[in-house]
Amino acid sequence: MSYREERRADQAAAREADREDRRLELEGHLRAKELKAEQDRKDADIRRRQEQADRKQAAAEKTAKKAARAAKNAKRVRWLKSNPATLFVAFVMVASIVPALVSQVGALTGASVPGAMAALLAAMLEGGAWAITFMGKQAEDAGREPRKYRIATWCTASMAAAVNFWHGTEQYADHPWVAFVLGGSSLFAIYIWDLKTHGSHGKTRAQKAEDKARQEHAKRRRKDHKAIADQADRLQSAMPYGALDDESAFAAAWRIATGAEPAMSAELYAQATNATVALGAAFELGEHVRPELLETGLKVAQFNPFREIAQPPTAQAGIGLYGSEGPAGEGSSPAPSGRTDEELRELLPDALVAAAELVAEGAQISAAGLAKKLTIRREDAKRLRDLVIAERKLHVA
């Protein structure tokens, strides 16, 4: 290849390389523009979403504020509807305090007291009365005695009323009754406040009736159970203050004196036990004389005043009572010898009569009792006792 041909080839290759470089550069510019456009779209989408979220949040906050204002207004309306007396009290108090202050300022100014000083002195009298009033209310809410605050309030208000009364007698000499009205303006607001505050804190009729009934109960208790009440007082004085209340002290003293729970005693337990035994005998009588008596006895037992200490009707009739003995076959092996089952069934009528006698005597239906009455072996009596109890349960059912 000649030199010219090589040179043309080199120039063609250079031109081709330049074209390729320009193509790559153009593609790079286009790709950069596409990436920038894509990023701009993404940024715009993010801004749009953020603006939408901000608008939604603003709308939600606005709705919440409206709901809060509506709830507050509704609460205020409900309070106004449920507290009309409070509104009238506030109105009357304002209508009383303002004229009282104006009258005091006029009285002090008429006595050649400078205006500013007259206003301060008037505020001292009326404001002092109300300052002491609020201090008393705070003390009462804290559980302290407000009596001294109430006395101080009325003394200060009386001084202010005297100033207004003196001013009224001079200012309205032709109408002296106005002096009483001006003097009362310093007292009326305090009086209304006192009624509203202390009158609403008083006890209701039900509370007063309960307190009276409680006091009468305490008097009857001390009269009927003087020794136990005195013992309760001694228990309380022996314990730290407040550690033992009146009811707990009396219950403890009752247990110490009687050994029983409050309102019960050994005599009452004995009476209840005797009544239970008598009722058991009545069941037995009904079982062997007239069946309708048994049904009547069961109904009467439902009204037993000693239900918590009495046994169920089946136990009162001697059913299911074993005493210290267990049922035959529990904890012991069968007797090696004795009467047969047929022989025991032949003895069953006599055993039922013997069991009735045991119940009438207030005793339990036991193997020992049956063995003694029927003069049979102890082992046979145990088996016969089970037959008797099964027969009695069947009859009661």
Give the residue extent of every domain in the chain: 1-82, 84-200, 205-264, 267-396
**pLDDT for res 306:** 44
Q: Classify residue 201 by its DSSP letter.
A: T
Among 342, 269, 334, 267, smallest CA distance to 308 is for: 269
User: How far is residue 303's CA from residue 299's CA, in Å, rounded to a whole number?
Assistant: 8
In angstroms, how far is CA 270 from the centroid of its own chain?
Answer: 40
**C-beta of residue 129 within 8 angstroms of C-beta of residue 156:** yes
Among 284, 237, 289, 300, smallest CA distance to 396 is for: 284
More confident residue, 144 or 364: 144
Among 278, 366, 273, 373, smallest CA distance to 328 is for: 366
* pLDDT tens digits for range 46-79: 999 999 999 899 988 888 998 888 888 888 777 6
User: How far is residue 369's CA from residue 284's CA, in Å, rounded to a whole number?
Assistant: 17
**pLDDT for res 202:** 57
Task: Report residue 127 as tokens.
Answer: 């404001």
Task: Kindly write down the DSSP assignment for every residue of 119-150, as one continuous string.
Answer: HHHHHHHHHHHHHHHHHHHHHHHTT---HHHH
* pLDDT tens digits for range 154-212: 888 888 888 888 888 888 778 888 888 888 888 888 888 877 776 555 567 788 889 89
**pLDDT for res 25:** 85
**C-beta of residue 186 within 8 angstroms of C-beta of residue 164:** yes
Averaged pLDDT for residues 138-164: 84
Asked if residue 297 has pLDDT above 60, the reply is: no
Asked if residue 213 has pLDDT above 80, the reply is: yes
**pLDDT for res 317:** 40
pLDDT band at 373 (very low <50, low <70, confident <90, very high): confident
Of the listed ranges 36-40, 190-194, 299-303, 348-352, the least confidently predicted one is 299-303
* pLDDT tens digits for range 116-136: 888 888 888 888 888 888 888
Averaged pLDDT for residues 134-154: 83
**pLDDT for res 207:** 81
Task: Report residue 36 as tokens.
Answer: 């920038």
Longest CA pairwise span in the chain (Å): 158
Containing 367, the helix (H) or strand (E) segment is: helix 367-374
Amino acid 256 reads I
More confident residue, 329 or 258: 258
**pLDDT for res 295:** 53
Mean pLDDT rounded to a whole number for the chain: 77
Among 163, 164, 190, 189, smallest CA distance to 178 is for: 164
User: How far is residue 159's CA from residue 126's CA, in Å, rounded to a whole number?
Assistant: 9
Q: Is 48 left (phi over 0), alpha (psi -120 to 50) or beta?
A: alpha
